[in-house]
Structure 1
């Protein structure tokens, strides 16, 4: 039976809490041996994480919501999210695997900037799970085992070593990501699409037009639109609108904010225009969406 949907007046955002000093406050690696994930109450309500979250699972089951999508957990799978998405864990069966968490601050230790541009970090296709072949499980688990030894020992220069392990891991996962999500993209144009989506994530509540994002990327609006359309099959303005709809759905699904309050948070000056905008893109009014989705998952 599905867990009942319970809404909250606001969605809390949690920083990375590291129980020891081995990774500072920006890196955490935990090994899970049949851990029952139900002890911390805030995991069972909608919340955001302000860090990157990855789990390599080789045993266990259950469901984990990311935004308004539920994922049924499966062994031999890697689950991942980027900062500030909405999470909701339902009560899980005991799980075994590795949980890796790191912040933008830790990524910034990579002076080359390569890690920040990798597909698994940019996540242009908005994916959240990678299906691993046995050889992939073995490789990823081996890297995490080695990193866990280093993380636990906290030897001199351990952050440098951890960054090196993370570099290998993220490059490997990015190859798998590309195979599973974006096999047809050209590297340079795919990078532009990723940068465009990153700009949208940072500014969607303030800027709703393509020209502003083109200026941020030092491009003409026409060229940006052409590349985005070729890479994703969707127009540039569709990406902006979809990001607004995703956030609107998060707030409608997980909070009790009114349509007017949500419209204001998303940068709409007129609540009635927001209602028409939402209905045009979803074929539902905000109120109908809220009622229908909550009824569906009761």
Structure 2
């Protein structure tokens, strides 16, 4: 199969791109579960490279293959569970599949059917690169019981299907947390090895350097920073808040106010010139923004520092 990079909005998009059957993939709920034997009938199979906007768990009771996330390659064998989330380019290859299941889900499904603050209790869902884990048979059996119950409910027609799946999914997440991530600390990952956080901070600094040198003249918004990493804005916001303790908007505001204070104290530029330099279309908008975050107008702040 010819390799190419693709951005897949959901699993159905990805399967369609690769010419795979879509019978087992439902698009409406933001949740899918199916046996991989239903999809991959001709093996070996090698996927295209793609970047999904969904989370996924793969449960390999009896299957072999490998997958690549960015530059890292992982081999998966029977008894393995692996997890991926939005943001990274990846590809996979299957050589044998006798018993394996895939679950995919998006943030909307989690917040609607699991719990609205799901990332507080299950912050490991934001882990960016996770090595597959091969569990002892007794532990895998506990996980298997849960995903099989979810699969059975998914095939049913109960009017409460999504809520039942959501509750079973909580149990599944708790078991996975017990066996994988009891000690996971998102703040620690954010300060040490979160590529999303690092890229966001680099983009933030680069943007304000570009503003300062007049190479750019518009303030970037949350969506703009998400676009720079090919991420959904909600997902970027969740990762940054969880791993740094501050929202993207707070990071932007603190950087903007910091730059504004420096210019007001150290330059002779007018308020109008400073507002345009920082990407504000109107000086009045800049003054309102500055006062909102400092309780002082730019003029008052400048006078206060001149007096000192």
TM-score tier (shorter): 0.5 to 0.7
Over 3 Å counting, the alpha-carbon distance change for 1:113 and 1:11 in structure 2 is same
Matches within 5 A, 1:10-29: 10-17=5-12, 19=23, 24-29=28-33
Equivalent residues, number? 203
Residue ranges of structure 2 left out of the alignment (5+ in a row): 13-21, 207-239, 252-308
Q: Does structure 2 conserve the Cα–Cα contact (< 8 Å) formed by 1:120 and 1:170?
A: no
**Following TM superposition, by how much is the alpha carbon of 1:193 offset from its aligned partner in structure 2, in angstroms?**
3.4
Q: Does structure 2 conserve the Cα–Cα contact (< 8 Å) formed by 1:33 and 1:95?
A: yes
SS of equivalent residue, structure 1 residue 75? coil
Question: How many angstroms apart in 2 are the aligned matches of 1:123 and 1:129?
Answer: 13
Matches within 5 A, 1:99-138: 99-109=102-112, 110-115=114-119, 117-123=121-127, 126-138=129-141
Q: Does structure 2 conserve the Cα–Cα contact (< 8 Å) formed by 1:36 and 1:95?
A: no
TM normalised by structure 1 equals 0.56
**Following TM superposition, by how much is the alpha carbon of 1:15 offset from its aligned partner in structure 2, in angstroms?**
1.5
Residue ranges of structure 1 left out of the alignment (5+ in a row): 220-298
Over 3 Å counting, the alpha-carbon distance change for 1:71 and 1:206 in structure 2 is same
Over 3 Å counting, the alpha-carbon distance change for 1:12 and 1:178 in structure 2 is closer
1:30 maps onto 2:27 in alignment: no
Match of 1:156 in 2: 159
Question: How many angstroms apart in 2 are the aligned matches of 1:35 and 1:114?
Answer: 30
Candidates 158, 175, 192, aligned match of 2:187: 192
Question: How many angstroms apart in 2 are the aligned matches of 1:89 and 1:68?
Answer: 13
TM normalised by structure 2 equals 0.55
Q: Does structure 2 conserve the Cα–Cα contact (< 8 Å) formed by 1:22 and 1:151?
A: no
**Following TM superposition, by how much is the alpha carbon of 1:19 offset from its aligned partner in structure 2, in angstroms?**
4.3
Structure 1 consecutive aligned stretches of length 4 or more whose deviation exceeds 6 Å: 20-23
Q: Does structure 2 conserve the Cα–Cα contact (< 8 Å) formed by 1:57 and 1:96?
A: yes
Over 3 Å counting, the alpha-carbon distance change for 1:91 and 1:195 in structure 2 is closer
Q: Does structure 1 conserve the Cα–Cα contact (< 8 Å) formed by 2:124 and 2:186?
A: no
Kindly provide the CA deviation profile for residues 205-238 of structure 1, in whole angstroms up to 9, marking residues without a partner as x: 63258xxx7664879xxxxxxxxxxxxxxxxxxx
Question: How many angstroms apart in 2 are the aligned matches of 1:77 and 1:91?
Answer: 13
Question: How many angstroms apart in 2 are the aligned matches of 1:148 and 1:204?
Answer: 40
RMSD (Å), alpha carbons: 3.7
Over 3 Å counting, the alpha-carbon distance change for 1:130 and 1:22 in structure 2 is same
Kindly provide the CA deviation profile for residues 171-211 of structure 1, in whole angstroms up to 9, marking residues without a partner as x: 211122225xxx4x6xxxx24335664972783563258xx
Over 3 Å counting, the alpha-carbon distance change for 1:115 and 1:136 in structure 2 is farther
Question: How many angstroms apart in 2 are the aligned matches of 1:207 and 1:98?
Answer: 40
Structure (1 or 2) with the larger CA radius of gyration? 2
